[in-house]
Amino acid sequence: MSQMQFQAPPLTKTNKFILITAGVAFIAHSILKAVGAFSLVTYLGLSSHGLFHGLVYQLFTYVFVETEFMSFLFNSLVIWFIGSELESNWGTKIYVRFVLLTALGVGLIYTVVNLALFYGTALYATPIHGLTGLNFAFLMAYAILYPDRQMSLMMIFPMRSRTFCLILAGIEAYMAIFTNFTSAWAHLLAMGISFLIIHFQSKPLMRKVLNSSFKKPGGKKHLYVVKDEEKDPPKYWQ
């Protein structure tokens, strides 16, 4: 009798860079916090105050700064499993541009809106940071590409990836509206930008930005997967 075996996908080179960089930042933050020094989030996290005072590098560094171990662990697993499969299917060049478009898009929109609506308040100087927003973008892309793949909510409840993504979006929307979890707005932005990139990937402007088409099995170039994927499911999710 054959047994179902779990096999982790190989960690792709872009995601290896992301996780190593985030790991170094997490360790550095932990050491600085332990010795009572400055917070790494203040300098590498993204805030309207920092960006409009010339700290442009924050647009690139904020995604790497994790401050909680469990958040770093689970975000790393999503990048490993979901991100690596996306990079393997799209190719490194397209995947890197997807990551950059998402990170820069979220950062610019969030800081401009923050400047317009919350200038002079504590929120204006409060930085956002972490891998979560990037992971929400990956999950949105995955739900569009593979809507019928099985995923587990809280490692317990199996459901389609499309349903899983909708539930996450609903949770973030609730937190954005009814709580003080301001970074939830950034997470929703990441999902929205991911949706727009994929939805309009065939348009001339988006094609020019990406400078290539996403790959589709069988030699044809297109973003969406073949519909008979169940006949040959990906080995990493068997």
Judged against a pLDDT cut of 60, whether residue 4 lies above it is answered with: no
Q: Tell me which residue has tokens 């990551």.
A: 99
pTM: 0.81
Q: How confident is the model at residue 3 (pLDDT cuts 50, 70, 90)?
A: very low
| Within a domain: 237 | no
- Nearby residues of 205 by Cβ (< 8 Å), 6 or more positions away: none
Confidence (pLDDT) at 226: 34
| Within a domain: 5 | no
Confidence (pLDDT) at 8: 67
| Within a domain: 137 | yes
- Structure confidence by residue, pLDDT tens digits, 6-36: 466 789 999 999 999 999 999 999 999 888 8
Neighbour tally for 229: CB within 10 Å:
14
**Containing structural domain, residue 103:** 13-223
d(CA 98, CA 87): 10
Task: Say which CATH number the domain at 182 has.
Answer: 1.20.1540.10
What are the C-alpha distances in Å from 190 to residues 168, 215, 226? Answer: 12, 22, 26
- Structure confidence by residue, pLDDT tens digits, 154-209: 556 677 888 888 888 898 888 888 886 778 888 999 999 999 988 887 777 776 77
52 in Cβ contact with 111 (< 8 Å): yes
Q: Nearest CA to 79 among 148, 158, 17, 138?
A: 138
| Within a domain: 4 | no
| Within a domain: 182 | yes
Percent with pLDDT over 90 in the chain: 37
Query: Which of 50-54, 116-120, 128-132, 151-155 is most confident?
Result: 128-132
| Within a domain: 72 | yes
Q: How confident is the model at residue 217 (pLDDT cuts 50, 70, 90)?
A: very low
Judged against a pLDDT cut of 50, whether residue 61 lies above it is answered with: yes
**Two structure tokens written together for 11:** 């960690």
Percent with pLDDT over 70 in the chain: 80
d(CA 145, CA 137): 12
Q: How far is CA 147 from the centre of its chain?
A: 18
| 115 or 18: which leads in pLDDT | 18
176 in Cβ contact with 120 (< 8 Å): no
Which of helix, strand or coil describes residue 72?
helix
| Within a domain: 133 | yes
| Within a domain: 29 | yes
Give me the number of domains the chain comprises. 1
